[in-house]
Structure 1
Amino acid sequence: MGDSPPRELIRLADDEGNSVTVNVLGRNVRWAAGLDAEIVVKTPFVSGRIDLALYVSKLKSWASALDRLDAGEDVAWMEMSRGPSIVIQLTGERDCPEVVVEDESGSMVTVRVPLVPPDDWIADHRQRLHRVMDYWVPMLSG
């Protein structure tokens, strides 16, 4: 585990400078069962970030999303909750994978980021998820 808490839950990036990351910032001071996090979008054209609350059920649903992606299915993560959502389309509008970050309940902005992640990206993200859960879940209550 190391001395420092794991920060990156999701890091989808390519050689063109496009990336979507979900960073865990730490425990939520107002809600003992939650983590403060952020979604960060960076492209040569547009960049932005939005706050995100994570809790154990969202982390577990990310594990299910990774299983569906591994089976060749597109996924929508956090689509039914308040706040932003992330949609991963394995074959997007430009015939390559796309990550769509939507914030319908807040800013009403949607950003579509085409990118080609490395071949082992699903296994890498399973490891990232396990590190985050191993470190943070024992500290969360509720």
Structure 2
Amino acid sequence: MRELISLADDEGNSVTVSVLGRSPVWNAGLDAEIVVRTPFVSGRIGLVLSASKLAGWAAALHGLDTGEDVVWMEWDRGPTLSIQLTGERDCPEVVVEDESGSMVTVRVPIVPPDDWIADHRQRLREVSDHWVPMLSA
């Protein structure tokens, strides 16, 4: 298992996206899950990642690096993950929406470390280097 996204703070709030392995149903996909943990609510939802979704995450990281709020996996079946750099509580917020399934939205305020975008670019490189060659095989 590799964590593509790992956002956490000292308050006990976290949102992670972990790659679990190659999808047994779709050769060009990776089984993954989004896990939300807070002192108040916790949950998880499965999803399938593709090479194009990983490219979308790279574009999202670029947007975040230039100061833009981003939405990742919008208009796709399954969950959507948004990052708002200045959320309702004047700190970054991660919003996980599952409109197509449970119809639940969770908003998690998180103050990430200063180097979090560089860390997530490295995470993306590691996931891509390990998994993307297998998806095209």
TM-score bracket for this pair, using the shorter chain length: over 0.9
Aligned partner of 1:57 in structure 2 is 52
4+ residue segments displaced more than 6 Å: none
CA distance in 2, matches of 1:100, 1:28: 25
In structure 1, which of residues 16, 19, 22 is the aligned counterpart of residue 17 of structure 2? 22
Question: How far apart are residue 102 of structure 1 and its match?
Answer: 0.1
Question: How far apart are residue 74 of structure 1 and its match?
Answer: 0.1
SS in structure 2 of the partner of residue 130 of structure 1: helix
Aligned partner of 1:94 in structure 2 is 89
CA distance in 2, matches of 1:61, 1:114: 23
Counterpart check, 1:39 vs 2:13 = no
Question: How far apart are residue 141 of structure 1 and its match?
Answer: 2.5
SS in structure 2 of the partner of residue 45 of structure 1: coil
CA distance in 2, matches of 1:116, 1:26: 29
SS in structure 2 of the partner of residue 88 of structure 1: strand
User: Residue by residue, what CA displacement relative to the aligned partner does 1:9-46 show, whole Å, maximum 9, x if unpaired?
Assistant: 00000010000000000000111100000000000000
Given the two structures, how large is their TM-score scaled by the length of structure 1? 0.95
Structure 1 unpaired stretches of 5+: 1-5
In structure 2, which of residues 70, 74, 77 is the aligned counterpart of residue 79 of structure 1? 74
* C-alpha RMSD of the superposition: 0.9
CA distance in 1, matches of 2:23, 2:92: 32
Give the partner amino acid of 1:114: P
Aligned partner of 1:7 in structure 2 is 2
CA distance in 2, matches of 1:110, 1:30: 27
Structure 2 unpaired stretches of 5+: none
Given the two structures, how large is their TM-score scaled by the length of structure 2? 0.98
Question: How far apart are residue 72 of structure 1 and its match?
Answer: 0.1
Give the partner amino acid of 1:59: L
